[in-house]
Amino acid sequence: MGINKVKGRSTAAKLRHQAEEQLRTKTAALHPPRTMDEQQRLVHELEVHKIELEMQNAELRQTQEELEVIVQERTKELTRVNGQIIKLGSLKESLIGTLPLSEKHKLITDEIVEIFSADFARIWLLQEGDLCKKLCIHAKVKEGPDVCRDRSRCLHLVASSGRYSHIDGNHRRVPLGCYKIGRVASGEDFRFISNDVTHDSRIHDREWAQALGLISFAGFRLVSVEGDPIGVMALFGKQAISPIEEDLLAGLANYLSQIILADKAREALLRSEIKFRTLFENANEAIFIIKGDLFVDCNTRTLQMFQCSREQVIGHPPYRFSPPLQPDGRDSKEKALEKISATLAGNPQFFEWKHCLYDGTPFDAEVSLNTVELGNELFIQVFVRDVTKRKQAEETLRKSLEEIRTLRGLIPICANCKKIRDNQGYWNQVEDYLRERTDARFSHGVCPECIKQLYPDYVGNPKQDGPLEDGGQ
């Protein structure tokens, strides 16, 4: 490798020598010896050219210094923005947790003040109007641009950090369309950015802003998936908001919208689950939840109805609590799976079923099956009602109706002895006729009128007064 370097230097020196010889030859041919005037003019031109080069070098140095300043500023800005992005990432991770929504709001305003060096930051949410008849200063305004246009709802201040950390001041409620905050919420100014708040005519109190040394304001509309307003995120600062920071804040506002919507959905789901669980546990009917063909949940009434523990229900199929065969002669397992399949196919089921207690004692039930979606999964909800008493009452009623049907119609009875003639033409005592056709039983006694006729000596005797029944004296 060292030899190659020497050869390289020798070749370069030889080429340089040849080039200088050719240059001298060309110079001698093109430029013969000059006169004194030509030499002086040449010197002058060289001096001028030298000065031009020095000026160009000065300009280049100045440009280089300016570029270095720009690079330093740009590097500083990029470093700051990179730090902001990292902090915003950490903030978003914190918002994913299970903090209450109110604490998330406060965390966001705290971090806006910290990350973007804001003087103060605030969040308003669109909610039902609640102070119109009490302490809201806007309710008293009758004319002008700050009149409350819709008293059914307004912006509620839910979080504030920085110079102002309270949320119970004059701006705790802001009507839609009023001030910069209300205009942002209503969509009149979907995104409000100003880096000259002391001269911006859109700023309501410019003297106040100047007194505090404020320079910038940024307001971002919080919207639902459908584009409807749900609130406003805003800040005031003592330094200008760069386009990059504006984009970062817009991204944070969008993320905040998602957090609010997700938490509202979670709260609604929680309320729904609480309501469902309350109804589930307090229902008078046994309620099962089936996944596949196994019970995965049940209410307290189920345990009472089937006389078992929860562990004896969960993980078992519905035909575990059924006799081998149903009253129609079909296999309980086969018929149960058929009902489950029909329900999953979108056909709710309602039918009578012969169930069993955990110990095998059968009872009659009415069962309904419906699909229900829980946590993005499809389940079958089963309602079981014990109808044993109703069935018994129906059977009693059926027998009573049969007895009534047996005795209905005209019955031939003797006007004197009160015997009844049967279908064969024989005359029978009333009690014999009814005994053969009903389950009625008879006891015999003597009514007061007959006692007077048959036993006049007993009339007036308190010990013997009254009917004489079989076995009496």
Q: Which residues of 29-44 are buried (b: 16+ CB within 10 A; e: fewer)?
A: eeeeeeeeeeeeeeee
**How far, in Å, are 176, 285, 349, 462 from residue 150 at the CA level?**
7, 46, 48, 90
From CA 75, how far away is CA 69, in angstroms rounded?
10
Instruction: Let me know if residue 14 belongs to a domain.
Output: no
Domains of the chain: total: 3
Shared-domain flag, residues 74 and 121: no
Shared-domain flag, residues 176 and 247: yes
Shared-domain flag, residues 296 and 239: no
Write down the H helix ranges in 319-409: 332-344, 388-407
Instruction: Let me know if residue 430 belongs to a domain.
Output: no
For residue 218, name the pLDDT band (cuts at 50, 70, 90).
very high
Final residue before a domain boundary, out of 217, 243, 268: 268
Cβ partners under 8 Å of residue 163, min gap 6? 119, 120, 212
Q: Is 118 left (phi over 0), alpha (psi -120 to 50) or beta?
A: beta
From CA 229, how far away is CA 219, in angstroms rounded?
13
pLDDT attached to residue 17: 62
Q: Which two tokens stand for residue 166?
A: 């309270």
* CA contacts within 13 A on the Cβ side of 258: 9
Does residue 26 surpass a pLDDT of 60? no
CA distance between the termini of the chain: 151
Instruction: Let me know if residue 251 belongs to a domain.
Output: yes
Give the pairing type, strands 362-374 and 377-386: antiparallel
Q: Which two tokens stand for residue 387?
A: 């109808």
Amino acid at 344: L
pLDDT attached to residue 144: 67
Cβ partners under 8 Å of residue 194, min gap 6? 200, 202, 203, 216, 217, 218
Shared-domain flag, residues 358 and 292: yes
Q: To which H or E segment does residue 416 belong? A: none
Say how far residue 100 (Cα) sits from the centre of its chain: 14
Shared-domain flag, residues 105 and 151: yes
Instruction: Let me know if residue 455 belongs to a domain.
Output: no
Shared-domain flag, residues 246 and 296: no
pLDDT attached to residue 11: 59
Three-state SS for 46?
A: helix
Q: Which two tokens stand for residue 156?
A: 């509620």
Does residue 333 surpass a pLDDT of 80? yes
Instruction: Let me know if residue 12 belongs to a domain.
Output: no
Phi/psi at 130 (5° precision):
-130, -10
Q: What is the pLDDT of residues 243-301, one digit of tens each?
A: 999 999 999 999 999 988 888 888 777 777 777 777 777 888 899 899 988 999 999 99
Most confident of 11-15, 113-117, 435-439: 113-117
Residue 324 is part of a domain; what is its CATH number?
3.30.450.20
Q: Which residue range forms the structural domain that includes residue 334?
A: 283-391
pLDDT attached to residue 28: 53
Does residue 2 surpass a pLDDT of 60? no
pLDDT attached to residue 70: 87
Which of 214, 218, 118, 124 has the alpha carbon at shortest distance from 162? 118
Average of per-residue pLDDT values in the chain: 82
Do 127 and 153 meet the contact criterion of CB atoms below 8 Å apart? yes
What is the average per-residue pLDDT within 102-121?
A: 94
Amino acid at 341: S
Which of 362, 353, 374 has the alpha carbon at shortest distance from 280? 374
Shared-domain flag, residues 109 and 247: yes
Sign, Cα dihedral of 131, 154, 215, 111: positive
Q: What is the pLDDT of residues 47-89, one digit of tens each?
A: 777 887 888 888 888 888 888 888 888 888 888 888 989 999 9
Shared-domain flag, residues 121 and 218: yes
Three-state SS for 299?
A: coil
Shared-domain flag, residues 226 and 204: yes
Give the orientation angle of helix 36-95 with respect to helix 243-282, to 10 degrees: 10
Does residue 1 surpass a pLDDT of 60? no
For residue 470, name the pLDDT band (cuts at 50, 70, 90).
very low
Instruction: Let me know if residue 444 belongs to a domain.
Output: no
* CA contacts within 13 A on the Cβ side of 40: 3
Instruction: Let me know if residue 46 belongs to a domain.
Output: no
pLDDT attached to residue 417: 77
Q: To which H or E segment does residue 163 belong? A: none
Do 301 and 286 meet the contact criterion of CB atoms below 8 Å apart? yes
Final residue before a domain boundary, out of 96, 119, 150: 96
Final residue before a domain boundary, out of 346, 362, 391: 391
Q: What is the pLDDT of residues 337-377, one digit of tens each?
A: 999 999 999 999 999 999 999 999 999 999 999 998 877 78
Shared-domain flag, residues 123 and 231: yes
Which of 168, 172, 155, 164 has the alpha carbon at shortest distance from 235? 164
Q: What is the pLDDT of residues 366-416, one digit of tens each?
A: 999 999 887 778 999 999 999 998 888 888 878 767 766 665 556 787 877
Do 427 and 436 meet the contact criterion of CB atoms below 8 Å apart? no
Do 414 and 422 meet the contact criterion of CB atoms below 8 Å apart? no
